[in-house]
Amino acid sequence: MADAVKGLMDRITNEDPETRGQQLWVMFALAMFLVATLNWYAYVREPEVIKIEQLLEYKNEVVKVEGTLISWVEDPYASGDDRIDAIIDDGTGVVEARWYRPGAMPPIGTTVTVMGDIIEYDGRIWLQSLGAGAMEWSTEDLPEVQRLAIADVAQQPGSYAGKVIQLTGFIGESISPDATFTSAYLGDHPNYGNSEHQMHLIVRSAIGTWVEATSKVEVQGILTYQQRDLRWSLQIQGPDILVDRNHVLNIPQLDWSAQATWSYQSGQTVTMTGTLVTGEGHWQLSGPSGQTICVVPTQEERENEEANAISGTLQSVEGRLMWSASTSSWCIDGNMGASPALVHPQTPVGLLAMLSADPVGMVEDPDATYTLSAYVKYAVAPSVEQDDAFFVDVAAYMPGWTTVATTLPGPRTVWLEAGQSIVSNVSVTWDDEDMRIRLIVHDYTLGPVPQARTLLWDDGAIQWSYARDQLVHLDGRAVEEDGAWRLVRDGSEDAILLNPQTQAIGTDSLHAEQSMTWTGRLRQIQSEDGLSLVYTLDKADALDTDGDGLSDTLEDAFGTSITSEDSDEDGVNDREAYAQAQA
């Protein structure tokens, strides 16, 4: 074989003029063969896996990078490009992978291998990839996700730094379908003012649909510390946000007298009440002092208006609050994902708003009856006589909530709880004594009783006053002295009066001397000397969720379920099983 190759090379390199043409063709063919071989090798060879810190050494070469996917955004400049920019971190550095004609993206925190050409331009360096196969991962590469509460992160954020966590909460602002970068907050309460903790979110990549403010969502991402802003942030991807569609949103009512605050609701679905003026272009809503806001109706609303003219009437409108560049004013837009509902004054959603928009007109017709959907502001005790109460438009306190005085009919046998929903038939009158509008309630239907509020001993008497007359939970140990019961804080001398309900399980021999969670109504009564007010837990008993006669505290310690009377389904209920174990 060596002799044959040697003979071929001798023929190519000899200087005989008669064979020079043949030599050139052979050399050309050989060169083409070598080029094709090198191209084939470059195509089929496996690119080398390198560290990100080595990128500059392989400029303009095709390589592979293996690391953690920490962020990505689709079509980052909203230019219609079929492109995803992904950020990869391998511990030695971070690189941006510009992936054209991409495939499906894995969750944040996944270990991925990205193949692409190293590009350096104007001091910047990135990995340029093409096609769905440029990013690879397997099921073993998916991240381990810790499901946490926002309070867990608040206590020890550093212990979760760089880890993939999952949180559930209520998002603080509306997110546009096309936004590729959004800064928002995730709270543990739908009302901003009631949240005990808030997690800052950095949302990347367009979601494709509106996420309404106060929506209950589940998010997953990487927790990082933002040195510039001195705060912790959760990096999440918009398409991965899961929205609980069963959660009822708190739709804010715009206040005519606080136009300067409307920008805080920009992009949200809002309601507003006023005198509606229709026309060929945008409609207009007028307030009590002459202020106006434009309304963009849907085609369906225009058709309904042609069939039943409503121009010049008092209406409540619902839609998305947007800024109009053409008129340099705010508009309630029904074509941005939430069609406006033009509500008749007798329907449940609008009466509190009607009172704000046209209070004089409402009082002028005292014989008119309206159906009102609202919430009870303060707990109201049972009574055989008429009682004063207050209705509000949201279940819990938030800035700007609407409060209206009411008179309730008697007799009643049940409490009206703070935050409880109520649907009532009412008429509107003027209260000369208090110089304010008052609702006269003729009949009503109550919604479900809200969950009891948890009290902490450290909160103190002033904070407890906000829960007066409400159902509450409080930890403590029941102690009887001279025929009177007290609830004592475990490990201290702090105590309040305790009025157990009839046949309370918390005072029987099985629960004696046990520190447990009690439930009852927090009342204020006169002290024995009549010179001060003291707290008492009225109609109280140890918390027993499943009603099996064994308190939740003892069930947790014993290992049985607080939601099943017979946890192991052996025919013996949990109380009897606990009693047998203690015997």
Would strands 403-408 and 436-446 be described as parallel, antiparallel, or unpaired? parallel
The arithmetic mean of pLDDT across residues 175-181, rounded, is 79
- The long-range contacts involving 79-85, CB below 8 angstroms and separated by at least 24 positions, are none
Which of 162-171, 393-402, 522-531 bottoms out in mean pLDDT, i.e. has the lowest? 393-402
In a domain, 220, yes or no: yes
Residue 423 and residue 373 in one domain: yes
Tokens 């090379």 label which residue? 9
Query: Model confidence over 304-333: pLDDT tens digits?
Result: 888 888 888 888 888 888 877 566 678 888
pLDDT for 339: 38
The arithmetic mean of pLDDT across residues 442-453, rounded, is 86
Query: Model confidence over 11-31: pLDDT tens digits?
Result: 555 555 555 555 566 666 667
Would strands 164-171 and 124-130 be described as parallel, antiparallel, or unpaired? unpaired
In a domain, 571, yes or no: no
pLDDT band of residue 357 (cuts 50, 70, 90) is: low
Query: Model confidence over 120-137: pLDDT tens digits?
Result: 876 778 899 888 888 998
The DSSP call for residue 66 is E
Distance from C-alpha of 529 to C-alpha of 511, rounded to nearest angstrom: 32
Query: Model confidence over 56-90: pLDDT tens digits?
Result: 888 888 889 999 988 888 887 666 778 888 889 88
In a domain, 550, yes or no: no
In a domain, 383, yes or no: yes
Q: Where are the alpha helices (DSSP H) in 116-183?
A: 150-155
* Element of type H or E holding 324: strand 313-324
Q: CA separation (Å) from 226 to 51, 73, 233?
A: 25, 19, 7
pLDDT for 340: 40
Distance from C-alpha of 386 to C-alpha of 211, rounded to nearest angstrom: 44
- Its domain, for residue 6, covers 2-44
Per-residue pLDDT for 359 more than 80? no
Tokens 């909203």 label which residue? 78
Residue 375 and residue 401 in one domain: yes
CB-based contacts of 39, cutoff 8 Å, min separation 6: none
Per-residue pLDDT for 470 more than 90? yes
**Residue type at position 339:** S
Residue 338 and residue 267 in one domain: yes
Reported in sequence order, the residue ranges of 527-572 that DSSP labels E, i.e. its strands, are: 533-542
pLDDT for 27: 66
| Domain final residue pick, 285, 314, 342 | 342
Distance from C-alpha of 233 to C-alpha of 433, rounded to nearest angstrom: 53
CB-based contacts of 422, cutoff 8 Å, min separation 6: 373, 374, 375, 376, 391, 416, 444, 445, 446, 447
Burial readout 445-482 (b: 16 or more C-beta within 10 A, e: otherwise): eeeeebebbebeeeeeeeebeebbbbbbbbbbbbeeee
Here the CATH number for the domain that contains residue 384 is: 2.40.50.140
Residue 205 and residue 181 in one domain: yes
| Domain final residue pick, 141, 176, 210 | 141
Q: Which residues pair with 456 in a beta bridge?
A: none
Distance from C-alpha of 516 to C-alpha of 506, rounded to nearest angstrom: 8
Residue 74: strand, helix, or coil:
strand
Distance from C-alpha of 378 to C-alpha of 465, rounded to nearest angstrom: 12
Residue 66 and residue 129 in one domain: yes
In a domain, 336, yes or no: yes
The arithmetic mean of pLDDT across residues 461-469, rounded, is 88
pLDDT for 259: 76
In a domain, 29, yes or no: yes
pLDDT for 554: 92
The arithmetic mean of pLDDT across residues 445-460, rounded, is 87
Here the CATH number for the domain that contains residue 279 is: 2.40.50.200
Residue 337 and residue 260 in one domain: yes
Per-residue pLDDT for 344 more than 50? no
Mean pLDDT (the chain, rounded)? 82
Distance from C-alpha of 435 to C-alpha of 433, rounded to nearest angstrom: 6
Residue 182 and residue 136 in one domain: no
Residue 165 and residue 124 in one domain: no
Residue 284 and residue 318 in one domain: yes
Residue 156 and residue 237 in one domain: yes
Q: Are 63 and 128 in contact (CB under 8 A)?
A: no
Residue 53 and residue 128 in one domain: yes
Total domains in the chain come to 6
Residue 53 and residue 137 in one domain: yes
Q: 82: which 2 tokens?
A: 């079929």
In a domain, 536, yes or no: yes
pLDDT for 8: 54
Distance from C-alpha of 285 to C-alpha of 312, rounded to nearest angstrom: 9
In a domain, 16, yes or no: yes
Query: Model confidence over 377-430: pLDDT tens digits?
Result: 999 988 766 688 999 877 777 666 778 899 998 778 889 999 898 888 888 888
pLDDT for 78: 64
pLDDT band of residue 347 (cuts 50, 70, 90) is: very low
CB atoms within 10 A of CB 387: 17
